[in-house]
A = this chain, B = another copy of it.
Amino acid sequence: MSNSRIYTAALIVIGDEILSGRTADKNIPQISKWLNVQGIRLAEVRVVADDIDAIGEAVNILRARNDYLFTTGGIGPTHDDITVDAISKALDVDVVIHPDARAMLERHYADKGGLNEGRLRMARVPEGSELIENRMSGAPGIVIDNLYLMAGVPHITAGMLDGLTGTLEGGAPLLSETLGAWAPESEIADVLIAAEKAHDDCQIGSYPFFRAGKVGANFVIRSTEKDALKACTADLKAGLEKAGYEVTDGGI
């Protein structure tokens, strides 16, 4: 029997570099796709500045209304890495040095000059935390309560997600099917409405594009129920064909 409860997560992307436009975020899609596989839905994302109060506000609202809260960024060695301080303040716990994190960093930097003040910063955690193993670099991720503090650099985040795979309780994974048609979105709006109305447990997203001088759209049908997904996809395909459009399974 599938678990029908919907598990949700929120994500806080921490970093002035995203807000300034200097860096394009890659962690939103990466974490979202990983969550889908765990049966957890990404419900909301906030991008906040490197600012203790801005981070704290987002943390306390989002951790209360989601099963899980992820953060990316701000756990490195420099002065602008303040995620641990901000989250400790939000949770009203002390910042402490985690002995295992310190040991990991000592091993990692053994032949690179050893620990210094900046490197030791990466062993700081909110009191009561556990570590997330990180095979990509010496610095670990951090878990406390339902919070998961991840790196900002996408390939390091990927390594941390890998270490977490299968450890979070989720529900039925969200399944999806895609159909594509060279149909102007504005022509087939009623077909989409009809298909979605006929299948309560499915959602349909419509994603228009303009390519090679022609307009078209892909339609993504989402559901946690395999049979419902299949039925809704079939109905939508029939509706689009009845409206005179050729439909491509899997999207265009």
Q: Give me the interface of A with B, judged by CB distance under 8 Å.
A: 13, 16-26, 28-33, 36, 41-50, 54, 76-80, 109, 112-113, 116-119, 121-122, 153, 174, 176, 184-190, 192-193, 196, 203-209, 220, 222
Contact = CB atoms under 8 A, between A and B. Distances in A.
A44 B48 contact: yes
A185 B76 contact: yes
Contact of A79 (B32, B187, B189): B189
Given A20-B32, A50-B205, A76-B185, 6 more contacts: A18-B29, A21-B31, A21-B42, A76-B206, A77-B189, A78-B206
Nearest to A109: B186
Q: Which of A19, A119, A185, A196 has the most CB of B within 10 A?
A: A19
B77 A185 contact: yes
Nearest to A23: B207
A47 B45 contact: yes
Contacts of A113: 187
B192 A79 contact: yes
A117 B185 contact: no
Contact of A208 (B29, B30, B45, B76): B76
Interface of A is mostly: mixed
Nearest to A156: B210
B80 A205 contact: yes
A31 B192 CA distance: 31
A30 B186 CA distance: 26
A176 B21 CA distance: 12
A44 B19 contact: yes
Contacts of A174: 20
15 contacts: A20-B36, A28-B47, A44-B47, A44-B49, A44-B54, A50-B205, A78-B192, A78-B206, A80-B192, A80-B203, A112-B184, A117-B190, A118-B185, A118-B188, A122-B186
A17 B220 contact: yes
Contact of A16 (B30, B188, B203): B203
The 3 closest A-B pairs by CB, nearest first: A118-B189, A21-B32, A45-B47
Contacts of A21: 28-33, 36, 42
A61 to B, nearest CB: 10
